[in-house]
Structure 1
Amino acid sequence: MIDLRSDLCTVPTEEMWDAMRAAELGWATVGEDRSVNELCARAAELLGKDDAVWVPTCGMANLVALLTFCEPGDAVVLESSSHVLSSEAMGIVDIARLEPRSLYAADGRLVPGAVHELLAETRAPLLVLENTHTRAGGTVLSVETTRALVDVAQRHDCRVHVDGARLVNAAVALGVPLAELVAGVNSVALSLNKGLSAPIGAVLAGSAAVVARGRTMLHRLGGATVHRAGIAAAAGLVALDTMVDRIADDHRRARELGSRLAMIPGLRLDPETVETNIVLVDVSGTGLTAAELVALLADAGAWVMERDAARVRLVTHRLVTDDDVEEAARIVADVVERHAVSAEALPDVEGFAAFEAAERAGRGEGGA
């Protein structure tokens, strides 16, 4: 079975397993675990921040950042399909008690002018950015775009948090150091699993004051009392030292996969939009729903994920080889050829993109 659902499907390397077994465990909560301390120092250095704290998950790290910078009732500006808003069980509302104020960006990249207008209206104390942007297909925020957004936020006395679950993918794709991508932001969450292949954990980095308050919020959430965190941290250190450069292979394979899929009748995507390791494909031209195609592909030997009613997501990672990309494309082509509805049987629509645009217009999206 070829698993293209997520880079979360990766498993630790043998070097990580060895490091976990050899880790000298200490009382992490009071700063006595060597692996945790080394990981936080290493991550802070890579991200260009004063300090960092280990967190069990990147979702929890994002929530800690929300609690660190905001008080209940505050507004938070973020992109409307961002992971914090769409995939973290609405912790921003139900736990942090904040008011999300969203802006739509088709490619996940917020426009500084629109952010300026919304910050002026809401006086939000926090702007959340996502790099790479998962639901937009792994798109990256450049150094220049991030800097422009930070400048806008600072003019409104607004802090900036970056959900950098796949920030390493962005840095590799752009060929810039991690620290340059988050220069000027107040905090950044970085996942150690996904493409980096560590089994568990993330870091939240920022100034010493931000991390100190973050530790308090993490303790309130129950995330500061993982007393054997050194096991995961030891693997995280190996991940940072050995897994970053190889992510370029994931990107190359994603581009190849996108190019192959784009040639299959009934599928629609522009290979040029594949920026990192995520491939989004509009399948509406096949006459099948995304859920139907996902099920058919699973039966044929390839796992992919339903992104929405008309799109599927395919993600490359360390366990996906060149041969897997070729075979996956063959499987998709075969399944589509055998199961696609004939053009005569399809309704007279222009595909999901047109439907989505009309739906957004009807809802008045594109602003706050």
Structure 2
Amino acid sequence: MARATAIDLRSDLCTVPTAEMWDAMRAAELGLAAFGEDASVNELCGRVAELLGKPAALWVPTCGMANLVALLTFCEPGDAVVLESSSHVLTSEAMGIVEIAGLEPRSLWAADGRIAPDAVDELVAESRAPLLVLENTHTRAGGTVLSVEQVAALADAANRHDCRVHVDGARLVNASVALGVPLAALAQRANSVALSLNKGLSAPLGTVLAGSEAVVARAHVMLRRLGGATVHRAGIAAAAGLVALDTMIDRIGDDHRRARELAARLASVPGLRLDPEVVETNIVLVDVAATGLPPEELLGLLEQVGVRAMERDASRIRFVTHRLIGDDDVEEAARVVADVVERHSVPPFELPEVEGLAELEEAEPEEPEHEERGAG
């Protein structure tokens, strides 16, 4: 029987604003953000710029749009862009990099999302790419983080060829908390950083794109071309974003702890394959191939009994912890998954035993008889 309220582990986008955020949104004094007249937008951009150690910042409605603005800011149509082959910009943002920006993606594969600096050096030199895009944390790799040292090594590889660096920081706060380092340390070597406010931070919408004053000035032009600079009443969302910065960062570690707990429980379920030790933040990837159930079918069965997750690929499903998932939810979700897998998994196909087959296979073959023939 399904729960009255589902345990929704599809994404940290399932979070909703807190009561304090709603109060701030109702109380926000609004102005024309496009003309720099909205106090909440101005304060939010200043706060995020300071957190990221950048001189300036720009409010953008979504992180996908912020990434596209960065591509347009640093590149001209026909330019190459180097990025990891399963990065969000390349796989989940409707190919805006090609269809809108007119750029040529040059990708490098890394199972954990951490591309090698040597490979970046070689590909940037070969393609003459003006931009390297990094994703921190890396969504499709399971929320893996890039350390300060790794970002620096990748930036060095790019900068040797006059290539800039943009960081898709949709979950950069998760990386900061997981590593125990300031956001500014992770952003230091980047020319631009997109910081999302509406995932683990629970704001209703909004991303801040930060960089130098020159970068942000050009980014503002590109944002206007995309129609994102004229979001009237942007201060409503910005007011919630300010509350998110004040109240949500310190609790992100709870999401990581719960993700590890969920991973540990699921790892003991026969038919599910995952290593809890590789869970670094709030995303848990589970290989379900051994259950004999396609991810889509398994997800449907789980939803019927009150647990929602997301298909990652042909053999894996994804669980994401967030503010609305508590310890009891983790325990219950793991129990439900185990029960569904036990009841519905398809046993591996085995050939029936044939009596005497083993003896027949072990018997030595007889020498064939040859009939003697006379000379012809």
Normalised-by-shorter TM-score class: over 0.9
Q: 2:284 aligns with which of 275, 279, 284?
A: 279
Aligned CA distance change for structure 1 residues 242 and 22 (closer, same or farther; 3 Å) = same
Q: CA deviation at 1:92?
A: 0.2
TM-score in terms of structure 1 length: 0.93
* 2-structure distance, mates of 1:136, 1:345: 33
How many residues matched? 346
Match of 1:293 in 2: 298
Q: 1:189 aligns with which of 188, 194, 199?
A: 194
Deviations 1:35-92 (CA, angstroms, capped at 9, x unpaired): 0000000000000000000000000000000000000000000000000000000000
User: Are residue 235 (structure 1) and residue 222 (structure 2) matched?
Assistant: no
Report the AA paired with residue 194 of structure 2: A
Match of 2:57 in 1: 52
User: Are residue 113 (structure 1) and residue 121 (structure 2) matched?
Assistant: no
Q: What are the ranges of 5 or more consecutive residues in structure 1 without an aligned counterpart?
A: 347-368
SS at match of 2:58: strand
* 2-structure distance, mates of 1:313, 1:272: 16
* 1-structure distance, mates of 2:238, 2:192: 20
Q: CA deviation at 1:182?
A: 1.1
Q: CA deviation at 1:345?
A: 5.3
Bigger radius of gyration: 2
Match of 2:258 in 1: 253
* 2-structure distance, mates of 1:104, 1:311: 18
Deviations 1:260-285 (CA, angstroms, capped at 9, x unpaired): 00000000000011000000000001
Match of 2:107 in 1: 102
Match of 1:173 in 2: 178
Match of 2:156 in 1: 151
Match of 2:219 in 1: 214
Q: 1:68 aligns with which of 59, 67, 73?
A: 73
Report the AA paired with residue 294 of structure 1: L
Report the AA paired with residue 44 of structure 1: A
Match of 1:226 in 2: 231
* 2-structure distance, mates of 1:278, 1:265: 21
Q: What are the ranges of 5 or more consecutive residues in structure 2 without an aligned counterpart?
A: 1-5, 352-376
Q: CA deviation at 1:227?
A: 1.4
* 1-structure distance, mates of 2:300, 2:236: 37
User: Are residue 27 (structure 1) and residue 12 (structure 2) matched?
Assistant: no
Report the aligned-residue RMSD: 0.8
SS at match of 1:81: coil
Report the AA paired with residue 189 of structure 1: A
* 1-structure distance, mates of 2:296, 2:147: 33
* 2-structure distance, mates of 1:240, 1:59: 20
Aligned CA distance change for structure 1 residues 92 and 345 (closer, same or farther; 3 Å) = farther
SS at match of 1:194: coil
SS at match of 2:70: helix
* 2-structure distance, mates of 1:41, 1:301: 42
Match of 2:364 in 1: none
Deviations 1:156-188 (CA, angstroms, capped at 9, x unpaired): 100000000000000000000000011121000
User: Are residue 125 (structure 1) and residue 130 (structure 2) matched?
Assistant: yes
Q: CA deviation at 1:343?
A: 2.9
Identity of aligned residues (%): 79
User: Are residue 321 (structure 1) and residue 321 (structure 2) matched?
Assistant: no
Q: CA deviation at 1:344?
A: 3.6
Deviations 1:206-230 (CA, angstroms, capped at 9, x unpaired): 0000000000000000000011000
Q: CA deviation at 1:101?
A: 0.2
Report the AA paired with residue 175 of structure 1: G
* 2-structure distance, mates of 1:151, 1:344: 52
Q: CA deviation at 1:113?
A: 0.4
* 1-structure distance, mates of 2:239, 2:315: 41
**Runs of 4 or more off by more than 4 Å in structure 1?**
none
TM-score in terms of structure 2 length: 0.91
